[in-house]
Amino acid sequence: MKLGYPTITWGGVVGMPGGVTSVKDSFYLTAGSTADAFRDIAAAGYTGTEVFDGNLLEFVDEPQSFTHLLEETGLTLVSVYTGANFIFDDIVNEEMAKIEKAAAMAATFGAQRLVIGGGAQRAHGPADGDFQRLASGLDRCTEIASAAGLTATYHPHLGTLVETSEALTKIMKLSGIHFCPDTAHLAGGGGNPAELIRRYSDRLAHVHLKDWDSRSQRFMPLGEGELDFNAILQAIRETGYDDWLMVELDYYDGDPKTAAEISKRYLDKLLATQTS
């Protein structure tokens, strides 16, 4: 297993203002410094990273700056995260144009994977055909990623159409996209992460690990919540997956580097125990 850490904790999740009026510009963005995040991630002992599509826009005109950061820190850009509503027919082509740009940037900067989130929640609940529309969008994302030399994976997420394990079952039957389990989002939606990883073992192509505290409804560094990562890692091993594990934390009250270090120490100890 190789360990990576996304830059999201350095500034949290924001978005690009242009996306409010132009769907083609609705990129995700982390508000913090990419350079600081890379240096902290490398110092904590990780060897890979994941960034939002919007953060790559900073480097489009000077790609060598991004390459130099990777070389300086010794990090591998493993994956790029993007997403869309997918269920609104009038804007889906604009969303796909954005995802095509995200895939092109990801490929330019050497990423291997495109992580897809989304599937909008309507104000009054899902409409007939929403899951089919989402599935169609995800299959288009798979084609876009493949054309760019990337693997597309779907990331179920709280606050989207696919929160629960029941919703995940629907979308996995309708779409052929690969699976990116996020342990905390799966648990927050009432699912058992280890069980769901086993259920979709043949679709597993990327992994997000973070802990979950159901009492506070908060994401936590590994080992500080309630999830059984021994069982989760065992389930991952059973699938035959032996690749990047992204240790993610959307938000942390303290220093993001400290959170990364807490999770790294916990995971190193757990992995050593499992292989001893």
Q: Which residue ranges make up each domain of the chain? A: 2-275
Q: What is the mean pLDDT of residues 251-275?
A: 93
Question: Per-residue pLDDT tens for 91-115?
Answer: 999 999 999 999 999 999 999 999 9
Q: What is the mean pLDDT of residues 36-57?
A: 98
- The residues that bridge with 4 in the sheet, in sequence order, are 48, 246
Q: What gap in Å lies between CA 76 and CA 49, rounded to an integer? A: 6
DSSP readout, 126-158?
A: PPTTHHHHHHHHHHHHHHHHHHTT-EEEE---T
Q: What gap in Å lies between CA 154 and CA 140, rounded to an integer? A: 12
Q: What gap in Å lies between CA 175 and CA 172, rounded to an integer? A: 5
Q: What is the mean pLDDT of residues 71-84?
A: 98
39: enclosing H helix or E strand: helix 34-43
Higher confidence at residue 18 or residue 5?
Answer: 5
Q: What is the mean pLDDT of residues 124-151?
A: 97
In the predicted structure, residue 188 carries a pLDDT above the cut 60: yes
- Mean of pLDDT over the chain: 96
In the predicted structure, residue 168 carries a pLDDT above the cut 60: yes
In the predicted structure, residue 276 carries a pLDDT above the cut 70: no
Q: What is the mean pLDDT of residues 220-226?
A: 97
pLDDT at 2: 96
pLDDT at 59: 96
Percent of the chain with pLDDT over 90: 93
Q: What is the mean pLDDT of residues 177-197?
A: 98
Q: 197-220: buried (b, 16+ CB within 10 Å) or exposed (e) per residue?
A: bebbeebbbbbbbbbbbeeeebbb
Q: What is the mean pLDDT of residues 140-154?
A: 98
pTM comes to: 0.96
Q: What angle do CA 80, 137, 125 make, to 5 degrees?
A: 105
Say which CATH topology domain 2-275 has. Answer: TIM Barrel (3.20.20)
- The residues that bridge with 52 in the sheet, in sequence order, are 81
pLDDT at 17: 83
Q: What is the mean pLDDT of residues 180-203?
A: 98
